[in-house]
Amino acid sequence: MALNAFTVDVEDWFHICGVDDRLPPSAWDRLESRVVPTTRALLEDLAAAGHRGTFLVVGWVAERFPALIGEVHAAGHEIGLHGHWHRRVYDMSPTQFRDDLRQNIDALRAAGAGPIVTFRAPEWSLNQRAPWALSILVEEGLRLDASRAPVARVGSAAFPRRPYPIATAAGALLELPPLVGRLAGHAVPLGWGWGLRKAEPSAVVEAIAANNRQGDPAVLTVHPWEIDPAPPRVRLPAPLAFSHYYRLSGFRTRLREVLAGAEFGPLCELPDAAAWLRA
């Protein structure tokens, strides 16, 4: 059984929350898509390391590149949801969120995704600003959520750091938080984003091992655009520019070292998640 989970948020370089003024969905079809070769590169690196993972896919990507979803499914990875239009949950109404979720599910089913039980919100946005969304996930058939980052700003440092159930009016979900580290006394990203790109691979591997010694899994998250050798860039507000462009150089090489240093599988096969899904 997998001790840790490796997850990929399958989106293109232009799927960035909160910048509808410069990268509106109406413009996406005219931009150069790079999600297929970069997702394939991650599939190759996972296969070389002997791991499977969970690919959380933006519905827009599944509609345009259904063959890619078939490749991910055929390689034995779990497929889950990352929003149809990659919108922050707290920017939508409950009705808009449900419609987006259904579009996302339909696009993935049409592409041959297999059973879908797992959701991850764009930009960790199923947080304290959108508690109403949890019951909608349950009502739409989801069992696992990986959307609540235990760090300030995008989530809350008060969120638990190991898998935990969340009760909703419609039933319960199992929440699977991403790996955090500490910097100057604060919880910071370590298993994703700028924190994963900043860290030396040996430090990430040691943090994963420390979690495992306590009986806890580590959940890592990457995006296909993070391993793009020459990603197209747009001018972004400073926090977004940092989270999207900081230390991309050499990341694929460092990520391979992390993959070689621990055992990974899909979210649904973490011991807590497997027991949850059997119950």
213, two tokens: 């010694």
The minimum distance between CB 223 and Zn ion, in angstroms, equals: 7
The DSSP call for residue 177 is: P
Q: What angle do CA 9, 10, 11 make, to 5 degrees?
A: 105
Q: Choose between 7 and 211: whose C-beta lies nearer to Zn ion.
A: 7
Q: Choose between 122 and 217: whose C-beta lies nearer to Zn ion.
A: 122
Interface segment toward Zn ion; rule CB under 5 A; list 5-13, 126-134, 176-184, 270-278: 5-13
9 binds Zn ion per the rule CB under 5 A: yes
Q: Kindly tell me the sign of the dihedral angle through the C-alpha atoms of 65, 92, 235, 155.
A: negative
The minimum distance between CB 141 and Zn ion, in angstroms, equals: 21
Interface segment toward Zn ion; rule CB under 5 A; list 119-127, 154-162, 206-214, 261-269: 119-127
Judge contact between 34 and 228, C-beta under 8 A: yes
In the block, residue with structure tokens 């039980």: 117
DSSP alpha helix (H) spans, 2-34: 25-28
Question: Hey, which residues between 120 and 159 contact Zn ion (CB under 5 A)?
Answer: 122
Q: Kindly tell me the sign of the dihedral angle through the C-alpha atoms of 256, 258, 262, 267.
A: negative
228 binds Zn ion per the rule CB under 5 A: no
Q: How many residues bind Zn ion (CB under 5 A)?
A: 3
Strand 4-10 versus strand 171-175 pairing type: unpaired
Q: In degrees rounded to 5, what are phi and psi of residue 175?
A: -95, 135
59 binds Zn ion per the rule CB under 5 A: no
Q: Choose between 11 and 145: whose C-beta lies nearer to Zn ion.
A: 11
The minimum distance between CB 20 and Zn ion, in angstroms, equals: 15
The DSSP call for residue 122 is: G
Q: Choose between 11 and 272: whose C-beta lies nearer to Zn ion.
A: 11
Interface segment toward Zn ion; rule CB under 5 A; list 2-10, 73-81, 108-116, 192-200: 2-10
Q: Choose between 122 and 181: whose C-beta lies nearer to Zn ion.
A: 122
- Residue from 129, 133, 137, 182 nearest 153 by CA: 129
Interface segment toward Zn ion; rule CB under 5 A; list 87-95, 99-107, 115-123, 234-242: 115-123
The minimum distance between CB 231 and Zn ion, in angstroms, equals: 14
Give the separation between CA 12 and CA 225, rounded to whole angstroms. Answer: 7
Q: Would you tell me which residues interact with Zn ion (CB under 5 A)?
A: 9, 11, 122
